Structure 1
Amino acid sequence: MTDNADRSPVATDARPRLSTRFTEALGIEYPVVQGGMMWVGRAELAAAVSEAGGLGIITALTQPTPADLVKEVERARTLTDKPIGVNLTILPSIAPPPYDEYRQAIIDAGVTIVETAGSSPEPHMQQFTDAGIKVIHKCTSVRHALKAQSLGVAAVSIDGFECAGHPGEDDVPGLVLIPAAADALSIPFIASGGFADGRGLAAALALGADGINMGSRFMCTVESPIAQAVKERIVAASELDTNLIFRTLRNTARVAKNSVSDEVVRILNDGGQFPDVQPLVAGARGRKVFEQGDIEAGIWTVGQVQGLIHDIPSAGEVVRRTVAEAKQRLQERLAQFA
C-alpha cells in the first residue's frame, strides 16, 4: 500500500497553538518528538519533523564515524533552521563504539538537544551541561526517570511496554506508567510507546505528560529513509504482528513478527542461549531489511502501534495533523462536561 492520502478526520491547514512545559524548555513549537532510531534517524526525516514544529532527532550511531555525524547535522541544517536533536544510545557491547568521540562530535556540531537512552546518562552529563546542551533521557521505569532527574536532565522520555525496541523488564504499559511518572517527577516528561496520532497526544496530556515521542509512526513517512516495502508492511500489519525476543535473557526487545524473530523466540523458549541466536539477530541483517526492503532478512524494530498506522504521509503532515486532532479531541471531550 502506497496511498499517501490524509485519512485523519481533521483539517490540517491551520496551525493550532500547543505549548507545554516541554516545548518551553526545549524551544520548540509542538510537543511531538521523532525518537532516535537506528538506521532511521537521518537528516531528511529529522529536519522535516523539526520544520513542522516538532523535534526531529538524528541517531548518532547510525553514522559510521563521529566526523560523519557532524556532517549529518550540518546537512540537516541546510534543510531547516529549527532545533534538531541527536540521539546517543549507550548499550553494553563486546566492542563498544567510541562514545566519548561521538559525544564530542555532538558538542562540536553545536547541537543543543540530546536524547540519551540505553543506560545512565551520568558519564556524559558534565560535558553536555558545560556545553549548554539540554538532555532528554529515555527510560522505561519511574525509578530510572527519578535517577535521571537527579542527574540534572532537562526532561525525561518515559517508554511504556507497548514500545518498539527495549521496553525494559517491568512490563508496565503506558496507561499506568505515564500517570505514575506524572506523580513522581518535577521536570517535564514526554510519553513514548504506542503513539501514532492526535488521540494518543490528547491521552498523554490528560494523563499528565508534556508531550509524546513517536518512532514507528515516523518510520512510516515519506522522508523516512527505510525501504518502501518496509513502510508498506507496517501499514498492512496489526497490533498483533510483533514479537518479544530475549525475554528469557532478561533483555527484552519488541521487534516485527517474521520468520527470523519467530525462530529466535522458539530457540530461546526451548532453552537456547544468546550464542544460539546471535547469527539471526546480527545488526547487519536488520540493516539489510531497512535498506533493501527484504522484511524476512533479519530482525527489525517496530511497535504495537503499527496497528494504528494506515498511510505513508509526509513527516510534517504527521506533526500537523497529530496536533490538530489532539486539540479537536480535547475540545470535544471537554464540551461534553460543559
Structure 2
Amino acid sequence: MPFNTELTRRLGIRVPVVQGGMQWVGYAVLASAVSNAGGLGILTALTQPTPEDLRSEIRKCRSLTPNPFGVNITLLPSLNPPDYTAYANICIEEGIKIVETAGNSPGPVIQLLKDNGVTILHKCTTIRHAQSAVKLGVDFLSIDGFECAGHVGESDITNFILLSRARQSLKVPFIASGGFADGQGLAAALALGAEGINMGTRFMCTIEAPIHHNIKQAIVEAQETDTELVLRRWRNTTRLFKNKVTDEVREVEKGSQEGKFEEVAPLVSGKRGREVFVNGDKDFGVWTAGQVIGLIHDVPTCEELVGRIEREAMEALQNMRSLWREDSPSKGMARASKL
C-alpha cells in the first residue's frame, strides 16, 4: 500500500522522503536518483556559481528523471550575498514547482516564488521561526531538530520535543528534519504528526552522492558522538563532522581573548570544506554531518535506500497496529463497571 500523506499528495511523490539541500552535494546526479527512487530530490542553488549554471543543472536533472524534484535556496548572512532573486527567477523560468527555502529574511524570495505558483518548503529550527514562516505563506515547514547537520540554531531543542510542539502549534503541514536515516524513523515522525521526513547526511552516504568514497566510509565508521558544535560564541552554531580542524576551531573559540570571527574564518572556509569531498581527506577542512551518522552502516544506491525505508516504515506502522486490541482489557473493564 503506497503512502498517503499531505506531502506525497501535494508533491506527487510515492515515499514521503525529501533529500535536503546540501552545499557541494545537491547536484543533479543525486537529486535525480532520489526522485527516481520515489522520494523528492533537491538541487542546491548556491552550489552553482551563477544563476545560469543553476539553469543548466535544472535541465540536466530534468533529463535524468521524469519525476518531481525541487531546488534549495538558502539565504545566509554574507558581506557579498549572492543574487538570491536571480536564482529564484531561474527556478520560475525553468518551471520548478517546489523550492526548499531556509535562512534569514526569506520573505521577498518566498513572495516572488509564491506569486508564480511555487510550493514552498521552509526549514526552521524553532517554533517561533516556523510561525513567522507561516505568515509568509509557506506550504510546508521542515522542522529541523538539534540533531541535524549544519546550522542547528541556538535553542538546542531536539526533534522529539520540537515535532510535538509543531503538532500542537502549527496550522501548516510539516516534515521532520534532523536525525532520520531509516523507516523506523519515518514511522516515528508520522506518529508525531509529521507528513514525512527530510534527510541530508543519510543521502550523502549513497552511491550517487557526488563526494569521495573515503568520506562516505568515514560516515559509515563514525559513531553518533563523532560530531562537533562550533561557532556558538558567534551565535552561528554549526554541527560538523568531528576532525582535526573542528578541534582547532574549538581551541580558538575557547581561548581567544578578543573573540573575533576572523580568527576562525580560515579554518571554517567553505572552500576547504568543498575540497574534502573531492580529495577524500576527512581532516582537510570542515564539513557538515548530523548525529544520525551513528545510524548509518552502509553505502546503498538511492533506490535501495528509499525502498528499504518504505518497507521498514510499513512494517513499523503495522507492528504498532498490532499493539492495540479491539477487545482490550480496559474496554472489558469499562463494560463490566456499567453492569
TM over 0.5: yes
Question: Distance between the aligned counterparts of 1:261 and 1:305, measured in 2?
Answer: 18
Structure-2 residue corresponding to 1:257: 242
Q: Is the 8 A contact 1:199 1:329 kept in 2?
A: yes
- 1:220-276 deviations in whole A, cap 9, x for unaligned? 000000110000000000000000000111110000000000110111011343111
Q: Is the 8 A contact 1:111 1:133 kept in 2?
A: yes
Structure-2 residue corresponding to 1:321: 308
Task: Report the CA distance between 1:42 and its aligned residue.
Answer: 0.5
1:128 equivalent to 2:113? Answer: yes
Task: Report the CA distance between 1:25 and its aligned residue.
Answer: 2.1
- 1:178-229 deviations in whole A, cap 9, x for unaligned? 0100111112110000000001101101111110000000000000001100
Structure-1 residue corresponding to 2:329: none
Structure-1 residue corresponding to 2:101: 116
Q: Is the 8 A contact 2:27 2:210 kept in 1?
A: yes
Question: Distance between the aligned counterparts of 1:119 and 1:205, measured in 2?
Answer: 28
Task: Report the CA distance between 1:106 and its aligned residue.
Answer: 1.2
Q: Is the 8 A contact 1:141 1:158 kept in 2?
A: yes
Moved over 3 A (4+): none
Question: Distance between the aligned counterparts of 1:130 and 1:201, measured in 2?
Answer: 32
Q: Is the 8 A contact 1:51 1:316 kept in 2?
A: yes
Question: Distance between the aligned counterparts of 1:66 and 1:246, measured in 2?
Answer: 30
TM-score normalised by L of structure 2:
0.94
Structure-2 residue corresponding to 1:92: 77
Q: Is the 8 A contact 2:84 2:109 kept in 1?
A: no
- 1:292-329 deviations in whole A, cap 9, x for unaligned? 11111101000000000000000122111111101101
Task: Report the CA distance between 1:147 and its aligned residue.
Answer: 1.1
1:312 equivalent to 2:320? Answer: no
Q: Is the 8 A contact 1:113 1:135 kept in 2?
A: yes
- One-letter amino acid of the counterpart of residue 315, structure 2: Q
- Greater mean alpha carbon deviation, residues 19-28 or residues 165-174: 19-28
Task: Report the CA distance between 1:109 and its aligned residue.
Answer: 1.4
5+ long unaligned stretches in structure 2: 326-339
- One-letter amino acid of the counterpart of residue 67, structure 2: K
1:55 equivalent to 2:40? Answer: yes
Structure-1 residue corresponding to 2:337: none
1:158 equivalent to 2:146? Answer: no
- One-letter amino acid of the counterpart of residue 175, structure 1: F
Q: Is the 8 A contact 1:221 1:314 kept in 2?
A: yes
Q: Could you say which structure has the greater relative contact order, defined with CA pairs below 8 angstroms and 6 or more residues apart?
A: 1
Structure-1 residue corresponding to 2:288: 301
Question: Distance between the aligned counterparts of 1:311 and 1:277, measured in 2?
Answer: 33
Question: Distance between the aligned counterparts of 1:321 and 1:131, measured in 2?
Answer: 36
Task: Report the CA distance between 1:130 and its aligned residue.
Answer: 2.0
Q: Decide which of 189, 196, 209 is 2:181's aligned counterpart.
A: 196
Identity of aligned residues (%): 56
Structure-2 residue corresponding to 1:10: none
Question: Distance between the aligned counterparts of 1:70 and 1:154, measured in 2?
Answer: 24
Number of matched residues? 323
- Greater mean alpha carbon deviation, residues 113-122 or residues 35-44: 113-122
Question: Distance between the aligned counterparts of 2:94 and 2:304, measured in 1?
Answer: 28
Q: Is the 8 A contact 1:25 1:154 kept in 2?
A: no
Alignment of 1:204-215 (within 5 A): 204-215=189-200
Q: Answer with 1 or 2: which has the greater Rg.
A: 2
Q: Is the 8 A contact 1:121 1:137 kept in 2?
A: no
Q: Decide which of 172, 184, 189 is 2:169's aligned counterpart.
A: 184
Structure-2 residue corresponding to 1:285: 272
- One-letter amino acid of the counterpart of residue 87, structure 2: Y
Structure-2 residue corresponding to 1:4: none
Question: Distance between the aligned counterparts of 1:185 and 1:120, measured in 2?
Answer: 20
